[in-house]
Structure 1
Amino acid sequence: MALGRKNSGKQLTGHLKTLYARLGGELRWIENPPKLRQRKWRGGDAFAAQAGEREARAEEIRQALPHVIYVIQMFEPDWDPEQEKLIRPLRRGPNRPPHGWADAAFDILRDADDWLTVREMLDRIVERHDLSIDDGPAHVQAYGAINAALQRATHGLVNDGGQPPRWALRSRQSGDESVSGAGGDGS
């Protein structure tokens, strides 16, 4: 695969810097786990049982990081890995869609033929992924994650302006003149 003359490694180094930040963040998390996990709260027993897997992953990361640093410094000799901001790994609970609440909501909207409220999207996600969110805090967290993602979306998503707002993809509702863009004017 050729990088091309205009690229000259900038795109590659950008991807490798992101990879370095993610791997470094994961390694930092493995080496310094959350205090709640160490005290055996909130699933601490399962966390302790996975110590061997975490240590094997940490060793893989320790072996890979020098290679990533070397390639980045081939293109940017003055790059300092100590100055790179590390990216903390995402928390993934056992009762979430495999790719996150926001992505699952957008998948539901792609398949939907009509306007949907956040509650309707949440119900369809739970059904599609065979999840159980009967307890209050899990439901509130999922609802909030979906609602926040929809509010941040500015391209390709519209709401009807009602209470509660109903959402649809702009491409599916392009003929409706009463549609407002998500987050304002939709530009």
Structure 2
Amino acid sequence: MRPSQEVAKLESVVYLERMDSSRVAAIRFFADLPEAELAAVADVAFELEVDTGQELAKQQGLGHAVFAVESGTAEIVIGGRPVRTIGTGDVVGEIAVLGSAPDPFEAPETPEGGQRTASVVATSPMRLIGLFRRDVWALDRQAPAAARRLRETMERHRAADEQRVLDEQQGSAGADPRRDST
């Protein structure tokens, strides 16, 4: 599927009503943001509901949106192996959305994202709050604390992924591959 088709498919399943900022504030990741930033996030956020077994992201696919889990759980899968479980309050997809440019907040605004570093598969029904790539970039001006937090989360997840690879290369049996890096 071409990237533009993938974005159109994703955009066709979202609710286009304005989201209330209290829903955004209820997610741990955004909870302590100032009200003005919560409102800025809510203005561009969309809701997505998925069923158990549905794939939210496919490893090596292009990432067009970042997701905060409002309810439900999912498994992060790298190279066909489950590595971590995520749930309410966690964020996924930020590496592909933010990590495809040296400084994604100064990159040209395009709908195409970077490559997904993992697959994400729902292990229960989920409700997610999503932000498209173009809207994440806009947040750097309107909600700098939210944008900074997304960058920090991306760096933590990247570091955990790099450590996981090192542990596997060294045959580290003591590390728990399901440990959440957030």
Shorter-chain TM-score: which interval? Answer: under 0.3
Point out which structure has higher relative CO (alpha carbons under 8 A, 6+ apart): 2
Instruction: Indicate the structure with greater helix content.
Output: 1
Give the TM-score, by structure 1 length: 0.23
Q: Give 1 or 2 for the bigger CA radius of gyration.
A: 1
Give the TM-score, by structure 2 length: 0.24
